[in-house]
Amino acid sequence: MLSSLLIALSITLMYSAPLTLAAIGGVISERSGVVNIGIEGMMSIGALTGAVVGYFTHSAWLGLLCAGLAGGVLALLHAIASISFRADQTVSGIAINLIGPGLAMFLSRYFFDGASITYPVPEKLPKLAIFSYLKGTPFANFNIDVSVVLALAVVVVTWFVLYKTKWGLRIRALGEHPAAVDTLGVPVYRSRYACVIMSGILAGIGGGTVTLAVISQFTPIAISGQGFIALAAVIFGKWKPWGAYGACLLFGFSQALVIMLDGGVLHVPSTILAMIPYVLTILILIIFVGRSSAPRASGVPYEKGAR
């Protein structure tokens, strides 16, 4: 009993890590006033980049770094479109969501002789056996991915920056009333660029952890809706880092359920089980979307001197 609980916990944490990273990216972007629904696309490109770089360099860490950069580059596109050219942020985000997976598939075929699945990376991100000193108990076998620790660290740092530093005060103000920030001499466009790019980097890293920690290769279904689930977590978590983290744990748990219940005593077809995270997402969105209050200026392009 204890050991299966621990396994459930371990799986929950493992699956929630990529979601958390991406969701925190979403929080940062939206708090600065730019809706980023392109997270899915940024995760996809991150997942591919992580797998490819990890495979060729034999370094999972280098892969993860490049995954972040790839997500950041895609986010830069979104930033240019939605901040400088004041495009509709939803349309731009959808474009990113089409470009990301398409490009990932194209690159996979390019690097791996037309295969849409990459070779497994020789070295995954390390796991940490945090209770290894408790020999002989079920705890000894309990280990967590380093990505879990990374995700938690990102949550803590983001919370601290947003609520305890001047940068955070400015980011939160940007999402509420950019003109106010502008009249106080803080550059609106530059700050929003920074936040959107940061959001892409985190989403890319999130994607990278899928192919470097959860599974060990890129497949066309490696990222299938995690980006959207992360977005749901942003809303469910009320645009707050800890809230988003909690939501991601819940979604991660639902994925753990899929795995734990599959082949268990219940004999539910695995295809039905696989729906659990998505159904949960929809339910949560239905229940919470109307009630939560988004940053007021989120999604509204800022135009200097507009009436």
Q: Which residues pair with 128 in a beta bridge?
A: 144
In this chain, which stretch among 3-11, 132-140, 173-181, 248-256 interacts with another protein, using CB under 8 A? 173-181
120: alpha, beta or left? (left if phi > 0; alpha if psi -120 to 50): beta
Of the two residues 73 and 300, which places its CB atom closer to another protein in the complex?
Answer: 300
| Structure-token match 């920056």, residue found | 161
Q: Is the dihedral of CA 202, 205, 210, 214 positive or negative?
A: negative
Read off φ and ψ for residue 218, nearest 5 degrees. -90, 130
| Structure-token match 């890129």, residue found | 218
Q: Is 119 in the site for another protein (CB under 8 A)?
A: no
Q: Is 169 in the site for another protein (CB under 8 A)?
A: yes
Find the binding residues for another protein in span 182-211 (CB under 8 A). 182-186
- Residue pair 50/109 in contact (Cβ under 8 Å)? The answer is no
Question: C-beta of 195: minimal distance to another protein in Å?
Answer: 15
Find the binding residues for another protein in span 282-301 (CB under 8 A). 296
Q: Is 173 in the site for another protein (CB under 8 A)?
A: yes
Find the binding residues for another protein in span 13-52 (CB under 8 A). none
21, 59, 203 from 244: Cα distances, Å:
10, 30, 14
Question: C-beta of 191: minimal distance to another protein in Å?
Answer: 11
Question: C-beta of 31: minimal distance to another protein in Å?
Answer: 11
Question: C-beta of 101: minimal distance to another protein in Å?
Answer: 35
Instruction: Kindly state the DSSP code that residue 115 receives in the 8-state scheme.
Output: -
Of the two residues 83 and 214, which places its CB atom closer to another protein in the complex?
Answer: 83
Q: How far apart are CA 170 and CA 174, in angstroms?
A: 6
Q: Is 114 in the site for another protein (CB under 8 A)?
A: no
Question: C-beta of 164: minimal distance to another protein in Å?
Answer: 6
| Structure-token match 């990932």, residue found | 104
Binding site for another protein (CB under 8 A): 164-167, 169-170, 172-173, 176-177, 179-186, 296, 304-305
